[in-house]
Structure 1
Amino acid sequence: MIEENEIKEGYIKDYVSGVLVKATPEELEAVQVFSEVLHKDYGYPLSHIQTRPQWRVKVRPSDKKKEYPVDIAIFSSENHIEENTHIIIECKKKNRKDGRSQLEDYLRFSMARIGVWYNGNERLFLFKTEKAGKVYFDEIPNIPRFGERIEDIGKFKRKDLRPATNLKSVFKTIRNYLAANAVGITRDEVFAQQLINLIFCKIYDERFTKPNDTVSFRVGINENLKVAQTRITDLFEKVKSQYDDVIEVADSITFDAKTLAYVVGELQLFSIKESSRDAVGDAFEVFIGPSLKGGQGQFFTPRNVVKMIVDMIDPGIDAKIIDPACGSGGFLAEGLRHVWSKVQSTGDNYGWPEHEIESEKQKVAIKNFRGIDKDYFLSKVAKAYMAILGDGRGGVYCENSLDNFKNWHSKTKEGVQLGTFDIVMTNPPFGKKLAIDSEDILKNYELGHKWNVNSSNAEFEKGDILDKQPPQLLFIERCFDLLKPGGTLGIVLLESIFGMPKYKYVVDYIFKNSIIKAMVTMPEELFQPHTHAKCCVLICKKKEETHTDSDYPIFMADVKWCGHDSRGNPTLRISSDGKEQLLDDIPTVANEFLKGFQK
């Protein structure tokens, strides 16, 4: 056992052996990550895995010293001997071609027939066969789980699927493979759309395959790739019928057979539907990212901030909720999970049957959740997000929230009425180059006009229509338009709004129309490396006509750590027991707020 006082700075405790190893990028991003995946996702007992001391393999038949050290070795039993070598894993920072070459060298004179190369970004699975004295290496879609044969890969019954330990790392490896290998596709948005299509195939297959039946979303060892491709495209035709409001009739799976087999092979082991982190959200985060959409000010809100806002507002089961700048649907999805947990608790307390609880969850999603985004692709992703979670996709609209209500499409006007929502949660677009200059829009907003201070009474007076106005400021007013009196707003805003004299009229507008409940300032790193804008979170309640009190407590918090640095890398430190800890203060804010400021 390692004592706390033996932990050295710059070292971590190895996941398998428990010994101290240097905290190199290779260890942190590949060896330790894949060790945990082998144990939790593939089910290999730690007693069957060796990392330290490193297992060694021969360079040549006459090599008695076994000169090649292997990062991870898996054995067929607890007895770690040459004859029991099952799988070897190499985790060097090489490109795919060099990684394969080195893995083949390691496998050539080893008793292991299966090899994995993984560098934290990409991974490759190889199967070794020997014929007529020659050694051959074939790429395979995955490795067998503990207790399975190589022939069992891809022959999964639906009941055997399990949530992924690290779903985001799976998508990351898929993204890097596609970027290097997909034929005829170069744009991230196309990658994302294709992956969303495949996720819907996966979800459909999980929903409509009986527990003891073999899933259709699979690819097996030595299976004809064209046969597998046909099976997936046939599945997609069923998806288009089931989700016709999300997937267009003209949509198709455009990956070539080899690429499709790779993606299916990476995903087939897992249950996307039961995974703790929403698959579309992870895929979108990896495949699109804030930088691609940053030109339109669509910096997608980090999930820890989304959860903090949802937890601080603490929506009830009957709350009607909207995000008028919903992007890919982060606030809607997190809000839905929060409300569903309350539905589940209520059902459990009253002894409702599980099907009745699920019915109630679906009813809540359909009846109470709304989202709007003017970007067609993002609104489509939000629909996909909500559909995969359960439902509520019908409540997402492609519309300009800032446009005159009369100009909205009839379906939007049916689903979204001003002054009817209990909660608005949003992160409206911001950016130096963004501005609304349409007089037809500006004239409808108090904050679309100039405001001058009356020298006699120091009150702001409304003036002429502005030439232009940042959309984030107009969204403040639109959020109040959507709320019913007493409704709650949770919004991400630029901190400069509350500090610069030129925005005093905006602060005055907020104070006159609401009761401020909380102000949480965020570190500058929150949206970096995509923008250096420093933001804050405002929680407030829309005033009711009878409210006159202007003296009330406001919860204030200043967050120092947000979970990543200015380059987007996790802010990690090693604890006294050798484990990684993420420096992130955001998850603690809601609890502090709810202790005394939630009323």
Structure 2
Amino acid sequence: MLELRINGNKIYAPLKGKELVKTPEEEVRQKYILKLVNSYGYELEQMQQEVSLTGSKRGTGRASADIVVWRSKEEKKEGKNPIIVVECKAEYIDIKSEDYYQGQNYARFANAPFFVTTNEKETKVFKVNLDVTPKTLSDEILDIPNAKEANNDDKIKKLLGQTKAFERDEFSKLLFQCHNVIRNNDKLSPEAAFDEISKILFMKIRYERNPDEENIFTLKQFEKQEANYEKNIRPVNIKRNGPKDDIPYMDYWFELTKDEFEEDELFDKNEKIKIKEASFKDIVRKLQKYNLSTTSDDVKGIAFEEFLGGTFRGELGQFFTPRTIVDFMVDILDPQEDEVMCDPCCGSGGFLIKAFEYVRDKIEQDIKIEKDKVNLAFDELSEGKAESELEKLKEVSNTIIQKLGYETQIRKSSEQEIAKEKSKFISRLEKLSASCIFGTDANPRMARTAKMNMIMHGDGHGGVHHRDGLLNINGIFENRFDVILTNPPFGARVEKSLLITKADQISDENRITKYKKMYGAEVYEKAMEQLLFDEETTKGKPVLDTLYIGKEGLSGLTEVLFIERCINLLKPGGRLGIVLPEGVLNTQNLGKVRQYFESVAKLILIVSIPQDVFMKSGATVKSSLLFMKKFTENEVSLWKQYENEAIAEVSAKYEEELKNIERQLALRGKDAPLASVKKELRVRKRKITEDIELEVRQIVKERFDYDIPIATVEKAGISSTGTSIDNELKDVILPQYVPYRKQNELWKELKPVFQYKWNTKTGKAQRIKNNSEPIVIEW
């Protein structure tokens, strides 16, 4: 058994007999060489790494094949045509069509019948068709031959004829078929049937992560284990419950799956498989030919979304944010690499998936541009150099390329330990997936769905939890996020009777230790103070009291509470995009709520969208998309300064009148005013208080001045029936908003302007610019 040997930033290459710089691409290449040896039975002597197929001595991937395999070591020595050509890409890079053409051209040049493209997470095998033009992609097939089959022409012919048709529509239909198997055979509700499909998909993913174990997802293996069960040959050693010998094979594998995803809290510890073995067997038969781990994220991700859409919208009545809205909101907030993102009401994970893909594409594009520069420089330097010099140059270029895909990051448990802890290399994509994507959903089914959906799209699921979005959990607490995107529940209320309980706390000491190390013990403990409860009653404060709006009794509406929750979760200067019913923006009884929000965050864009957008999902409330930026520390100080100044100015204006009213109300006996006069005085006092509050707010808004772009679109890419239509949101992004945002540096500090007028009769602010027409800003 050949093993991977990594030594720091070096990796051993058995085909070269020496250590090489461990670039992301080199690691994928060495892992595939191991697979050729350990899984397919090839010998090292019948393979070669970095084979020049163009006669060039240059060592870049553009001039040589990564791995070439011959039928035998004798044919390799004799210089005969190879049978397989392999093109490797780094794990964080999606394989594009040009990569397929590149590998195909290498294989065509070598007259090899098979070529492979792999980035480890996705592997595709193609047959080389010499009868078509070079720009025509050959058919994708199921697999390459193993070492024994490589010398059998009949086997080769059969493999070349087994075309692979794992397309998006096919997989989506397959998921529906599995769903129907459970509904028909086990008579479960649509919701329960979906839960069982989720369990089986997680079981399959668990196997694919542990390929050395026996493959449960073939009918042959299942029937073998089923026969063993009948003969009383039972699986043993389940970590969660200790040794067991009295459970069926499918239950045994589900126990292992619960262990695998235990920290993700996917399933209750007592959760069981709730379908018949016959149903399980039928689904195994349908799924066995698919490998989710090596299938492109685009294919399986969109297929799973189609399945979710048909199942949840059509049968479960769940609510999803249409992709056109998700895409628009992510584009507006433009998340960047290293920014931490969250959706506290994540549903099926649409916002998190789009944000993950958006940043991942930026990383891949950056690496590609920089890598091309390195390769170009290498080509120029390598002209006329001897082989020994080329080797040295190649190592230098590989060292540079290694740093493109990885960044040096200090992981620390406390400020005092920073100096002690050594820098570690971490993949930029790994950091994005493991440290930058977070979400919660109060519905356990939706939290599980979001995790599965994210795995299908390329991962990032580890930060998603089943938790009330108003409460803190791993990494989801105040002042943590650069970007928040969400579509909170509308119309529901949080009552004062809803209390924090012991169940809302994390009790697992290992996880607590892990979180303290990740975020710092002091920071984590402070975040968890939100969940403190009385040890005797095991009950805590009302959930409403964790928020200013709830504690002050301003509102208990979920959509309003989640605006404050999101602002609290943001770092100073962090950005929020949220879907809201339009009533939040203009209902009179929410006036004080809006006043509070404008004192902690800036409005950066409001987009009114047509009612049709959510109609297919069963929602009839007209909505708007609200974008805000939490005040920076400087803006907090500036707002407070303006507020204090305004209070002093306006209070001085009414000081004498208020003192006079107080003196008259304080009189007693014969000097006391009549009851009717007292009533008038109290009414006047309240009116003065209200006037002071209004005038203070006017002055502060006059001094803390900025434009608020407002857009209204008639068509947002989706009709009331769910069909695709024109999308005017695209016109808001590039031609209008993005240039405006960049020109005005909206993500930067406020630059106050004081030419501003407030019309108390209309309740509208008017700012005059360069003698032009007033810009009307409604809020």
TM-score tier by shorter-chain length is: 0.5 to 0.7
- Tell me by how many angstroms 1:337 deviates: 1.6
- Tell me by how many angstroms 1:303 deviates: 2.5
Counterpart for residue 431 of structure 2 = 363
Cα distance change, pair 240–397 in 1 and its aligned pair in 2 (3 A): closer
Out of 360, 381, 387, the residue aligned to residue 449 of structure 2 is: 381
Out of 690, 713, 717, the residue aligned to residue 559 of structure 1 is: 713
Counterpart for residue 242 of structure 1 = 260
Secondary structure of the 1:370 match is strand
Deviation digits for residues 423-458 of structure 1 (CA, Å, limit 9, x no counterpart): 111111112x54434483334433236xxxxxxxxx
Counterpart for residue 740 of structure 2 = 596
Counterpart for residue 553 of structure 2 = 465
Residues in 1 aligned to 2:297 and 2:459: alpha-carbon distance in whole angstroms: 17
- Tell me by how many angstroms 1:520 deviates: 1.6
- Tell me by how many angstroms 1:478 deviates: 1.0
Residues in 1 aligned to 2:632 and 2:142: alpha-carbon distance in whole angstroms: 64
Residues in 1 aligned to 2:430 and 2:739: alpha-carbon distance in whole angstroms: 31
Counterpart for residue 436 of structure 1 = 495
Equivalence map 1:332-481=2 (5 Å): 332-351=352-371, 352=401, 359-403=427-471, 408=472, 412=473, 414-431=474-491, 433-438=492-497, 440-448=542-550, 465-466=553-554, 469-481=556-568
Counterpart for residue 132 of structure 1 = none
Residues in 2 aligned to 1:323 and 1:344: alpha-carbon distance in whole angstroms: 24
Cα distance change, pair 402–300 in 1 and its aligned pair in 2 (3 A): same
Cα distance change, pair 275–371 in 1 and its aligned pair in 2 (3 A): closer
CA contact 1:218–1:228 (8 Å) conserved in 2: no
Cα distance change, pair 286–437 in 1 and its aligned pair in 2 (3 A): farther
Cα distance change, pair 550–471 in 1 and its aligned pair in 2 (3 A): same
- Tell me by how many angstroms 1:498 deviates: 1.5
Letter of the 1:441 counterpart: V
Deviation digits for residues 79-130 of structure 1 (CA, Å, limit 9, x no counterpart): xxxxxxxxxxxxxxxxxxxxxxxxxxxxxxxxxxxxxxxxxxxxxxxxxxxx
Cα distance change, pair 504–201 in 1 and its aligned pair in 2 (3 A): same
CA contact 1:317–1:339 (8 Å) conserved in 2: yes
Out of 634, 637, 641, the residue aligned to residue 546 of structure 1 is: 634
Cα distance change, pair 436–292 in 1 and its aligned pair in 2 (3 A): farther
Cα distance change, pair 513–524 in 1 and its aligned pair in 2 (3 A): same
Cα distance change, pair 284–318 in 1 and its aligned pair in 2 (3 A): same
Residues in 2 aligned to 1:182 and 1:250: alpha-carbon distance in whole angstroms: 23
Residues in 2 aligned to 1:260 and 1:317: alpha-carbon distance in whole angstroms: 42
Residues in 1 aligned to 2:559 and 2:406: alpha-carbon distance in whole angstroms: 41
Residues in 2 aligned to 1:380 and 1:147: alpha-carbon distance in whole angstroms: 31
Residues in 1 aligned to 2:550 and 2:590: alpha-carbon distance in whole angstroms: 13
Deviation digits for residues 525-569 of structure 1 (CA, Å, limit 9, x no counterpart): 222241211111111111224335644343433232344443x44
Cα distance change, pair 345–175 in 1 and its aligned pair in 2 (3 A): same
TM-score calculated relative to the size of structure 1: 0.58
CA contact 2:340–2:482 (8 Å) conserved in 1: yes
Cα distance change, pair 506–166 in 1 and its aligned pair in 2 (3 A): farther
Counterpart for residue 325 of structure 2 = 305
Counterpart for residue 324 of structure 1 = 344
Cα distance change, pair 564–201 in 1 and its aligned pair in 2 (3 A): same
- Tell me by how many angstroms 1:258 deviates: 4.5
Residues in 2 aligned to 1:429 and 1:197: alpha-carbon distance in whole angstroms: 26
CA contact 1:203–1:388 (8 Å) conserved in 2: no
Equivalence map 1:25-64=2 (5 Å): none
CA contact 2:345–2:439 (8 Å) conserved in 1: yes
- Tell me by how many angstroms 1:480 deviates: 1.0
Residues in 2 aligned to 1:243 and 1:161: alpha-carbon distance in whole angstroms: 31
Counterpart for residue 488 of structure 1 = 575
Residues in 1 aligned to 2:625 and 2:547: alpha-carbon distance in whole angstroms: 22
CA contact 1:216–1:231 (8 Å) conserved in 2: no
Cα distance change, pair 344–170 in 1 and its aligned pair in 2 (3 A): same
CA contact 1:192–1:288 (8 Å) conserved in 2: no
Cα distance change, pair 231–441 in 1 and its aligned pair in 2 (3 A): closer
Counterpart for residue 17 of structure 1 = none
Secondary structure of the 1:418 match is coil
Residues in 1 aligned to 2:163 and 2:603: alpha-carbon distance in whole angstroms: 49
Secondary structure of the 2:625 match is strand
For the aligned residues, what is the CA RMSD? 4.2
CA contact 1:519–1:554 (8 Å) conserved in 2: yes
Out of 609, 627, 647, the residue aligned to residue 522 of structure 1 is: 609
Cα distance change, pair 475–228 in 1 and its aligned pair in 2 (3 A): farther
Cα distance change, pair 191–158 in 1 and its aligned pair in 2 (3 A): farther
Residues in 2 aligned to 1:474 and 1:282: alpha-carbon distance in whole angstroms: 31
- The answer for unaligned runs of 5 or more in structure 1 is 1-144, 149-154, 450-463, 572-581
Residues in 2 aligned to 1:591 and 1:415: alpha-carbon distance in whole angstroms: 33
CA contact 1:205–1:215 (8 Å) conserved in 2: yes
* Corresponding residue pairs, total: 407
Residues in 2 aligned to 1:370 and 1:157: alpha-carbon distance in whole angstroms: 44
Counterpart for residue 109 of structure 1 = none
Residues in 1 aligned to 2:708 and 2:291: alpha-carbon distance in whole angstroms: 44
Cα distance change, pair 240–250 in 1 and its aligned pair in 2 (3 A): same
Counterpart for residue 217 of structure 2 = 217
Greater Cα offset, 551-560 or 509-518: 551-560
CA contact 1:366–1:392 (8 Å) conserved in 2: yes
Residues in 2 aligned to 1:465 and 1:174: alpha-carbon distance in whole angstroms: 48
Secondary structure of the 2:599 match is helix
Deviation digits for residues 495-539 of structure 1 (CA, Å, limit 9, x no counterpart): 121232222333333333222222122211222241211111111
Residues in 2 aligned to 1:158 and 1:146: alpha-carbon distance in whole angstroms: 6
Out of 286, 302, 309, the residue aligned to residue 310 of structure 2 is: 286
Cα distance change, pair 383–416 in 1 and its aligned pair in 2 (3 A): same
Residues in 2 aligned to 1:258 and 1:484: alpha-carbon distance in whole angstroms: 52
- Tell me by how many angstroms 1:167 deviates: 4.4
CA contact 2:367–2:405 (8 Å) conserved in 1: no
Letter of the 1:535 counterpart: S
Counterpart for residue 199 of structure 2 = 197
CA contact 1:563–1:583 (8 Å) conserved in 2: yes
Counterpart for residue 414 of structure 2 = none
Deviation digits for residues 364-389 of structure 1 (CA, Å, limit 9, x no counterpart): 22212221222233223333344454
Greater Cα offset, 533-542 or 243-252: 243-252
Residues in 1 aligned to 2:631 and 2:228: alpha-carbon distance in whole angstroms: 59
Compare relative contact order (CA 8 Å, sep 6+) and give the higher one, 1 or 2: 1
Residues in 2 aligned to 1:540 and 1:259: alpha-carbon distance in whole angstroms: 49
Residues in 2 aligned to 1:159 and 1:281: alpha-carbon distance in whole angstroms: 25
Cα distance change, pair 168–570 in 1 and its aligned pair in 2 (3 A): farther
Letter of the 1:217 counterpart: F
- Tell me by how many angstroms 1:422 deviates: 0.9
Secondary structure of the 1:318 match is coil
Residues in 2 aligned to 1:507 and 1:443: alpha-carbon distance in whole angstroms: 19
- Tell me by how many angstroms 1:474 deviates: 0.9
Cα distance change, pair 542–169 in 1 and its aligned pair in 2 (3 A): same
- Tell me by how many angstroms 1:156 deviates: 13
- Tell me by how many angstroms 1:492 deviates: 0.6
Cα distance change, pair 219–516 in 1 and its aligned pair in 2 (3 A): same
Counterpart for residue 534 of structure 1 = 622
Out of 573, 587, 600, the residue aligned to residue 513 of structure 1 is: 600
CA contact 1:423–1:487 (8 Å) conserved in 2: yes
- Tell me by how many angstroms 1:315 deviates: 0.8
- The answer for unaligned runs of 5 or more in structure 2 is 1-139, 144-158, 230-247, 372-400, 408-425, 499-541, 639-702, 746-779
Greater radius of gyration (CA): 2
Letter of the 1:306 counterpart: V
Letter of the 1:531 counterpart: A
Cα distance change, pair 340–500 in 1 and its aligned pair in 2 (3 A): same
Could you say which structure has the higher helix fraction? 2
Secondary structure of the 1:546 match is helix
